[in-house]
Amino acid sequence: MTYLWQFIFGLVATVGFAILFHVPKRHIFVASLIGGMGWVVFAYCRSDYGGALLGCFLAACVVGFFAGICSRVFKETATVFTIPGIIPLVPGAGMYYTTLYLISGQLEQAATTGTETLLMAGSISVGLLVVSSFFKIHYTLAGKIKNKFRKKREKCDIMEE
Amino acid sequence: MTKQLQKRILIMALLAGELMMKSGAEIYRVEDTITRICKACKIPYVEAFATPTGIFLSLDKGGEDNEMFTFIKRIRGSATDLGKISEINQFSRDFVSTDLSVEDGMARLKQISKRKPYPLGIKLLGAALTCAFFCLMFKGTIQDFVCAFIIGAASYLLSAIFDGFETNYFIKGFCCTAFAAFLALICAASGLGNTSGPTTIGALMLFVPGVAITNAIRDFLAGDMLSGLARTSEAFFIAISLATGAGVVMRLWVLMGGTIL
């Protein structure tokens, strides 16, 4: 139930980002659905499964995956869906807590949180990277298979003639 | 005659590239768009090289008498506008698949470049929504939610004012987060909100360099190391400006005898 709320919060926050980044009106809803899903995955991992780093990675994978599919479906650039979807994951909270520890003189805590923040940004990128290379491989393979079939068919046609 | 045509094609391709780059597109997309537009105009030799601060483009028709054209375009300033990117993408697809003349293409590009983003009022609402819901996501209460809603709009308004003066991005980030953190602390101290933390996080999220980070990764992926590095450092400096902005205000608050709730 809490996660349903988290989903709604993530969704509305992504609507805000979509407006700020001027996503075309017809795509705002889909983009915010993707953002909400990414956020829910992150929130679940952060508190119940594996921690924030894994959460960032998995959430970025989810966002990248759905953005890739939607960009195919709507014939739109994937950026339109990725950027609003990924931004809730960018660790603003990590930055805040790092600063808080720094100004209150808890340097050890600050170093720990700061490193975790950097790693979170890194794991977002790794997540996107994994999914987008998966998509690339898929399309290259699909193209090759299509070409092969076409060649075979042409061969058959020639033979029939 | 061919020379003039070639020049017009070059100018149009550069305009398309510049618009995309200014709207925050990835390098490979910009280079790909430019190359496609030129190839569609039957120019066999096209070489485009784009970085976040400039585009280099050279064309050659390939004949014995044809001269080579090279052009450099310096790009200044950028704002994220995904609508423009998607429209230019559509434009380049149309330009390649149908035989649109160069003049018509130029007219359409100019039309796209004039397109305004959402009006300021709606953007303020967007900023307020983002800030308020991030506050809730980081365990803020309903009172914090209301404070964050107003603080988000106020700090975004401040950043819009700074944009009007064409300020340095570092100063902009610093001042906006400092302002937001100050308001959040005041709200918490005066009892309007419970805690300042979630509200400040919400305001930070508005200015966080997410687009720079995502684009940096995509540039690295596509093998554009130079642009990837440029964007990584951009993201890094923006992050530092935000953290110092909030940090300085919080530090001063503590020094002046306040407590951070």
Q: What is the pLDDT of residues B74-83, one digit of tens each?
A: 988 778 888 8
pLDDT at A66 over 90: yes
pTM for the whole thing?
A: 0.84
A21 interface with B at CB cutoff 8 Å: yes
CB contact under 8 A, B197 and A96: yes
Q: Which amino acid is at B52?
A: P
Q: For residue B200, what are the contacts with CB-CB under 8 A and spacing of at least 6?
A: A96, B180, B181, B184, B246
B204 interface with A at CB cutoff 8 Å: yes
pLDDT at B211 over 90: no
Q: Which of A85-89, A150-154, B36-40 has the lowest mean pLDDT?
A: A150-154
User: Model confidence at A132, in pLDDT bands (50, 70, 90)?
Assistant: confident
Indicate the SS3 state at residue B209. coil
pLDDT at B154: 92
A118 interface with B at CB cutoff 8 Å: no
pLDDT at A2: 83
pLDDT at B2: 65
d(CA A93, CA B204): 8
* C-beta pairs of A52-56 under 8 Å, 24+ apart in sequence: A52/A116, A52/A120, A53/A116, A53/A119, A53/A120, A53/A123, A54/A123, A56/A89, A56/A91, A56/A120, A56/A123, A56/A124, A56/A127
Q: Where are the domains of chain B?
A: 3-114, 120-256
- CA proximity to A17, closest of A71, A89, A115: A89
Q: How far away is chain B from the Cα of A152, in angstroms, using its nearest Cα?
A: 28
Its domain, for residue A109, covers 1-158
d(CA B118, CA B180): 23
CB contact under 8 A, A77 and B213: no
Q: How far away is chain B from the Cα of A147, in angstroms, using its nearest Cα?
A: 21
What mean pLDDT is predicted for residues B230-240? 88
ipTM > 0.90, yes or no: no
pLDDT at B7 over 90: no
Looking at the partner chain, which of A24, A103, A132 has a beta carbon nearest the beta carbon of B86? A24
Number of domains chain A contains: 1
pLDDT at B189 over 60: yes
pLDDT at B177: 92
Indicate the SS3 state at residue A79. helix
Looking at the partner chain, which of B82, B130, B156 has a beta carbon nearest the beta carbon of A13? B130
pLDDT at A84 over 60: yes
CB contact under 8 A, B137 and A92: no
Indicate the SS3 state at residue B7. helix
Indicate the SS3 state at residue B57. strand
Nearest CA in chain B to A127: B217
B142 interface with A at CB cutoff 8 Å: no
Q: What is the pLDDT of residues A3-55, one digit of tens each?
A: 888 899 899 999 998 998 888 888 999 999 999 999 999 989 988 888 888 99
pLDDT at B174: 92
pLDDT at A36: 92
What mean pLDDT is predicted for residues B188-198? 85
pLDDT at B180: 92
d(CA B115, CA B106): 14
- Residues of B201-238 as b/e, b for ≥16 C-beta within 10 angstroms? bbbbbbbbbbbbbbbbbbbbbbebeebbebbbebbbeb
A22: which chain B residues are within 8 Å (Cβ-Cβ)?
Answer: 80-84, 117-118
Hey, which residues 90-109 in chain B have their CB within 8 Å of chain A? none
B121: which chain A residues are within 8 Å (Cβ-Cβ)?
Answer: none
pLDDT at B19 over 70: yes
Distances in Å between the alpha carbon of A22 and those of A113, B86, B210? Answer: 33, 11, 15
pLDDT at A3: 86
pLDDT at A161: 57
CB contact under 8 A, B82 and A83: yes
User: Model confidence at B107, in pLDDT bands (50, 70, 90)?
Assistant: confident
pLDDT at A160: 62
Q: For residue B92, what are the contacts with CB-CB under 8 A and spacing of at least 6?
A: B16, B33, B36, B37
pLDDT at B40: 87
